[in-house]
Structure 1
Amino acid sequence: MGHTLLCVLGLFLLNTLLYGHAEVSNRASLTLQPNWPQIFSGEKITLRCEIDGGGDTQWTYEWKPDKLNIPPRHSEYRINSVTRSHSGEYRCKGRKDSYSSTEWSNVIRLNVSPNKPKPTLTAHNAIIPVGGTVTLTCSVRGSADWKYYWFKRTSDSSVAQPIRDGVPDSISVSQGGLYHCRGGRGDPLFFTENSDKVTIQETVSNRASLTLQSNRPQIFSGETITLRCEIDGGGDNQWTYEWLSPGDSVTLNCEVEHPSAGWRFYWYKAVSDLSSYYSYELLPGSSNGTEQDSYIVHGQIHTAGYMCRAGRGDPVYYTDYSTPKFVWSGGQFVSVCPLKKQMLCN
């Protein structure tokens, strides 16, 4: 027994003489607070060195890289405004005395992005239905723990007003306007850049009614006509008006009275036909019907009439055609009523 103790003591003394220190069994553990996968320039972070089972020992600490210049009694390395120059690998160890220390801790790799992140703002719909809402979502890619701050403008020239502070990534809005968001996290708060703005339009309950000012059943090429847009229940509001320009897209909607399941929708355009009053030409992508009850006509450059009908079952049972709806374009007009073809005009 005595020989064994002498051998262990001899090895300890030999190690101390050769290398100047001895390692203790305690382990050093390095942590990053907050533990975010991505750090941005300007944020506050803390690296903390902890000794497992350190007890009441008065530890001193060594850090790598050596340039940190941290007082030896400090177990923390705090950076109040991190920069890209702080990127790199960090380790620490604890020292009991001049001759004994722990092994080096685990490595923390710090990667600091030099630029503030810019969140992405998306809207599940750009138009608020009457009495409804639209959901807006703000997100910062590849990082965590953000709360979001929301702003609204009534016009491009107005001042943005805060509407929500420090909320999760989605909100519902019921009013039209220009919206943007930004993210914030940490203490003190670190903010992202502002997102791009999205324009949300609100649908009011008033209905626009378009009338053709002409008491003639037929209109011929070269004649002058007037289209009048009136707002039902418009009151004293100062309305502005939008008219379709050549090339604008138009959304058609089709409904089945007493709706039930299984309907597919077929979309048609009124086409002049020498053998009849009008024929119905299926619109592209409509030959097998669409599950959606809406259809977008792209590049509307002529005034045209559109219809729909629904079908279901095998063989297909079809409803009647809908009443034709004419979409008036600000571009070249088609001849709505050729001679002897008045079916859609009366």
Structure 2
Amino acid sequence: MPALLPILFLLIIESSGAAVRPVVSFKPNWTRVFTGDSLTLTCNVAATANKDVEYFWFKDNKQQLTRSKHLLINSAETQHAGNYQCQSRSSDLSDAARLDVSYDWLILQVPQTVYEGDNVSLRCYSSRGHDGERTIFYDPDHKVLQDSNNESILIKDIRASMAGECTCAKEISGQMFSDKAFLSVKDLFSNPQIIVNQFAPTEGANVTVTCDASLSLLRLATELQFAFYKNGQNVQDFGLSHNYQIYPAQLGDTGDFTCEVKSSTSDIKRMSRSTRVQIYERFSSPQIKSSAQRVTEGASMTLTCETITKDTKDLLFAFYSNEEVAQGFNSSNKYPVQAAQLEESGNYTCEVRTTEHTVMKRSRELHIQIQELFSYPQIKRTTQGANLTLKCDTILTEDGEAAELQFAFYKNGENAQEFGPSNEHIVQTDLLRVSGDFTCEVRTADNSVRKRSRGVYVHSQGSTNYTSHNAVRMALSACLSVFTLYVVFHHVKTEVIGELGDGTSLQVSWSVTATELTS
């Protein structure tokens, strides 16, 4: 029944979810002592279990009476030799710690707990009343470590390679005695492991890569430093943080990660195994598509920004025309153009990003050429009798053959003829009031396309032509008595404007320039 007690306690601890394993330490820290020596055994538990007030000790699987954290041996006897274990109510059962008790002439004392990087003392210890002189220490390869009269040797910054069976020899009363002891060198910290906080992380996620390495309970005060590597390249130099943060994660952050741990007090280093961190697409690279293969002026079209994703509710879309913003970010992946115009031709792209702005992708360019419905109009002038006729000429393209067009005319920016089916405007040749800048405008019946011509300056005509030179003199004399008349003579149009007293007709055609009449 006593042999079952450690197992029963282990089952109780495991059922409560605890998995903290204590460590038994000796003070003095020797695994072998002579009879009569005293020592203290301590049950070292994790900080979470330090609040426990009751401990359980076992020697060779038999429970001991003490409930204290410490087990005292005041005067060692051979029956004290054995394997010691301990546990508390909230901890697991410790590993066994071996204690040997000897009554021989000489023992080689080695520490019960040795960790990499420790400064370790070995003692070639002779029994009371048998002091020795010359002492030799040998390593596990039987190489001499020290040959002197000193019964102790200090090995600084010990490494795991020193573990093994060591030997010491001492001259006592003219004779050489020797003893052997196994020196165990434990890892200062465990082999590091890469732990990723997310399974199958996607773009934009906050990914934490952790380098997990634990110190022994007896070396918790040791400071560790951590470094991280991706595909063999250093991405974070040695520091106190055991985390490497990837935020926001992008596809390019995918790679094979390793971490390295070292002690700040020595050059002990350990490298983890490689762990693949795969960042998955949150959404595919977008494609921009048009609802129409061929778009003419005035027609409607819709651009769509397509992407593949499991959830679109956290995505925003924007559209660009020739690198200028055409539609800012919003939840719609469509950009409607109600009445396309020639100037809207160009290279279009769309962009998708997450609402938190952690992932952004842009499409390739889509070139859209708006096809002309009709050409820009031109004003042409013709004369019909006494009137001037302005004609608004435009050419319908193949895409606009069925278009119904309307025409309007403007003089000096003011409307001279409202929109209608006629492309002609008759100008009354009223003396001195015809001059001005004329333009015309063409539009579709639904007003989706409008185009205006360049301006044409129409000026009043002014040159005189008398059938009688005397009549001209008489007319000019009459005018000069009131005005000084500056005339530019043209032979464009002749019009009867009156008759002289002798029956002679007065015919005048004119063109008044910058200064028409000056008093």
**TM above 0.5, one fold?**
no
Larger relative contact order (Cα-Cα within 8 Å, sequence gap ≥ 6): 1
Tell me which structure has the larger Cα radius of gyration: 2
Task: Provide TM-score, normalisation by structure 2.
Answer: 0.23
The structure in which a higher percent of residues are strand is 2
